[in-house]
Amino acid sequence: MSIRSYVSLSALVLGMAFATGPASAQQYDTGATDTSIKIGNINPYSGPASAYGTIGKTIAAYFDKINAEGGINGRTIEFISYDDGYSPPKAVEQARKLVESDEVLLIFQSLGTPSNSAIHKYMNVKKVPQLFVATGATKWGDPQNFPWTMGWQPNYQSEGRIYANYILTNHPDAKIGVLYQNDDYGKDLLQGLKDGLGDKTSMIVSEVPYETSDPTIDSQIIKLKDSDADVLVNIATPKFAAQAIRKVAELDWKPVHIVNNVSQSVGGVLRPAGLENANGVLSTGYLKDPTDPQWKDDAAYKEWEAFMDEHYPDGDKSSSFTVYGLAVAQTLEQVLNQAGDNLTRENIMKQAASLDNLQLGMALPGVIINTSENDFFPFEQMQMMKFNGERWEMFGPVISGEVGG
Amino acid sequence: MTIDRTIASDDAANTPVAGSATKARMVGGIPVAWQRTAFFIAVVIAIALPFLVKNFTIFQLTTVMIYAIAILGLNLLTGYNGQFSLGHSTFIAIGAYTTAILMEFAGLSFYGTLPIAATICFAFGFLFGLPALRLESIYLALATFALAVATPQVLKLSPFEHWTGGVQGLLVFKPEAPFGLPLNSDQWMYFVTLAIGLGLAVCAVNLVNSRSGRAIKAIRDNPIAARAMGINISLYKTTTFGISAAYAGIAGSLSAVVVQFVAPDSFTFVLAIGLFVGLVVGGVGSITGALFGGLFLVFVPNIAEEVSKGLAGAVYGVILLLVIYLMPAGAVGLIRTAAMKLATRRR
């Protein structure tokens, strides 16, 4: 027994010596070697959400580019991406395959709230980073209970706070009507709006939910109009957001109309709603819109265009998913660069939680990434924008909607 | 011994190969000794595997067996009773949610929830079987399909959200091996699933070869003649529906603890269609076929993805077409034909 405790003690001492040793000492966890880093990913290439598959393909193309240019700190990136068809049980299977069979260093950008919920606990029990997940739910920024999981895009609560901030500054006497989808996403955003309003929550004169199974939301809009609201916050997914914009115009109601970020697609929402009806609608953005002509001569835009032409020629250059994929891959690149030769899972999370004023090329100027050990929300800033009948125009300052620490 | 009949199950009755020509006892044209050997080899492999492969593979194999149990239930309904169902994902969902909710809110252990899930699914299946009586073949397929389409949305409804967790779903705890057995939780759940699956397979074989089983098959082959024989068609049909739903419910209950998570998106109509594919690929009207169906459902999509990520769906389709073209009677049909040829050649 004494021998065993002696051995474990010396192992401990040795381990501490390593941990406190110079940063240049090479330390690896499973998945990292002198020559390569294995990164796992789960994306819905098939099934109901297969449109998001573009994100996975863009990331793969970006790592091809990095490898062609010599890798990160001399290590090539081995990007292993599996299809889960947006099915949670399949996501569990693929996550286990990545962790236990392919032995990746971390899982990056697994997509979808249901799929990430399914592997949330598994990843944290296994202590494998579930880094920069592709969902806007607020629960991914909980370092106390889930120190191995981190989101990336602005979460729904931050977005709600940004709208509150805008309304308080520009329409302090407003009467707010809220249309929201009755699920976790809608409630999350509404919660953010209320938190942002603080003690002025009474400005909300009417909250009207709808179900995704509702055929139309006409009656909800009529109810909101009757409440005498003069600011309408439209927390709806594309189909319903378009219906709302059209109905508001039909009723000849002229509120300040804020449409949430998920429904800002010109082709998918504003055109079906009628471009003249959508004129003057407000929203927020955080990434550069590839179809916006104002970025035509922008250096980062040109870089993105060159990357698309060379490494992902089949990709759709009008799709915001390719911009998203590039930006999130660059964030991971930064984390791995920072980690240097200390490629342990713990250090990966430590570096991911110490991103300092990172300005990505394809993020809007001034929208920066900041994280800390208490702040697992990389993007928390957005800029307001207004639709001019043709395209979105950014205006005003970058607004912060910080939720965490 | 009941297991002897598993491979030959359906045509066991109509192959009285007797005495003079062959000395070996034959069932379905295949020597019984062969079947017995194959069965024992299979069991030995099944018991040895969890100690030889990685935990992740054990998890995949457990998933295979869970699918096999659900396909077995579907087979009783479709293969033996001739009723179509494209809605078995609903019963899997009910089983899974029953287990998840009882474990979360009533503090029951997983083993306690299993019979409850089976009973609830039986009742639900039996009740659904009543209106289904009025619907024949493709119309019944459509009606059950509607059930499958509706299920994920119903699970998301806000009145049930307190119980179902809405879109977020519920986390479920995986039981550890009891009595200090030297097994990890993956290995333990593998053996639990194996034991339950074998038990259910034996039940299915016995049912199919019993008097009731013959009635069930008679209804499939000729309902008018069956009625003339004095078989209570509606009772048999609804009961078969209930039993089939109970099998699916047990599969759902097991899947809840193995995956450790239930959510509406786990039980879409894609799952229901998947079970149907597994049924046809494994072999309609064959008990062992369910296992091959399960293997197909878990591994073929992965193979398709290996071949091409962008065209995974198309590759899957091509493999499915090839399988149906090359093995029109399913995997078990192919094995049976091969074994029969071998047996004849040796004579």
Between A and B, how many residue pairs show a Cβ–Cβ distance under 8 A? 90
Q: Which residues make Cβ contacts (< 8 Å) with residue A157, sequence separation at least 6?
A: A138, A188, A189, A191, A192, A195, A401, A403
Is A93–B54 a contact, with Cβ atoms under 8 angstroms apart? no
Q: In this prediction, what percent of chain B has a pLDDT beyond 90?
A: 45
Structure tokens at A226: 């009757």
| Greatest Cα-to-Cα distance within chain B, rounded to the nearest angstrom | 70
Residues of B in contact with A111 (CB under 8 A): none
User: CATH: 2.40.10.480, 3.20.20.10, 3.30.70.141, 3.40.50.2300. Which one for A156-285+385-400?
Assistant: 3.40.50.2300
Q: Where are the domains of chain A?
A: 24-154+298-374, 156-285+385-400
The answer to whether residues B87 and B141 touch, using CB atoms and an 8 Å cutoff, is no
Confidence (pLDDT) at B39: 86
Pairing of strands A231-235, A256-259: parallel
Mean pLDDT of B244-256: 95
Regarding pTM above 0.90, the answer is no
Q: In this prediction, what percent of chain B has a pLDDT beyond 70?
A: 91
> pLDDT at residue B71 above 60?
yes
Is A114–B263 a contact, with Cβ atoms under 8 angstroms apart? yes
Compute the distance between CA of residue A110 and CA of residue B89 in angstroms, rounded to an integer.
25
Residues of B in contact with A100 (CB under 8 A): 54-56
Query: Which range, A76-90, B123-137, B244-258, B311-325, has the best average confidence (pLDDT)?
Result: B244-258
pLDDT, one tens digit per residue, over B318-347 is: 988 998 888 888 888 888 888 888 888 765
Confidence (pLDDT) at B24: 59
Compute the distance between CA of residue B22 and CA of residue B31 in angstroms, rounded to an integer.
9
Mean pLDDT of B243-247: 95
Confidence (pLDDT) at A372: 92
Extended strands (E) in A201-255: 204-210, 231-235
Looking at the structure of chain B, the number of domains it has is 1
pLDDT, one tens digit per residue, over A283-304 is: 998 998 887 778 889 999 999 9
Confidence (pLDDT) at B14: 43
Confidence (pLDDT) at A298: 92
B268/chain A closest Cα distance in angstroms: 9
The answer to whether residues B50 and B191 touch, using CB atoms and an 8 Å cutoff, is yes
Same fold, A24-154+298-374 and A156-285+385-400: yes
Of A371-380, B220-229, B298-307, least confident by mean pLDDT is B298-307
Confidence (pLDDT) at B153: 81
HSE on the CB side for A307, CA within 13 Å? 27
Residues of B with CB under 8 A from a CB of A: 54-57, 59-60, 63, 153, 156-158, 166-169, 171, 255, 259-261, 263-266, 268, 270-271, 298, 301, 305, 309-310, 312-313
| CATH architecture under which domain A24-154+298-374 falls | 3-Layer(aba) Sandwich (3.40)
Please give the average pLDDT of every successive group of 10 residues along chain A, which has 405 residues: 48 46 68 93 82 89 94 93 88 92 94 88 93 90 93 91 93 94 84 92 92 83 93 89 93 93 79 89 90 86 93 85 92 94 94 93 91 91 89 87 64
Compute the distance between CA of residue A166 and CA of residue A154 in angstroms, rounded to an integer.
16
H-state helical runs in chain B: 32-48, 55-75, 88-105, 110-132, 137-156, 161-164, 185-208, 211-221, 223-228, 233-259, 269-282, 289-307, 312-326, 330-346
Is B265–A114 a contact, with Cβ atoms under 8 angstroms apart? yes
- Give ipTM to 2 decimals: 0.75
Is A92–B167 a contact, with Cβ atoms under 8 angstroms apart? no
Is B261–A118 a contact, with Cβ atoms under 8 angstroms apart? yes
Residues of B in contact with A85 (CB under 8 A): 270, 301
The CATH number covering residue B32 comes to 1.10.3470
Please give the residue range of the domain that contains residue B50.
2-346
> pLDDT at residue B311 above 50?
yes
Confidence (pLDDT) at A399: 87
| A interface test, pick of B167, B265, B315 with most A CB neighbours within 10 Å | B265
The answer to whether residues B281 and B79 touch, using CB atoms and an 8 Å cutoff, is no
Chain B interface includes A22 (CB < 8 A): no
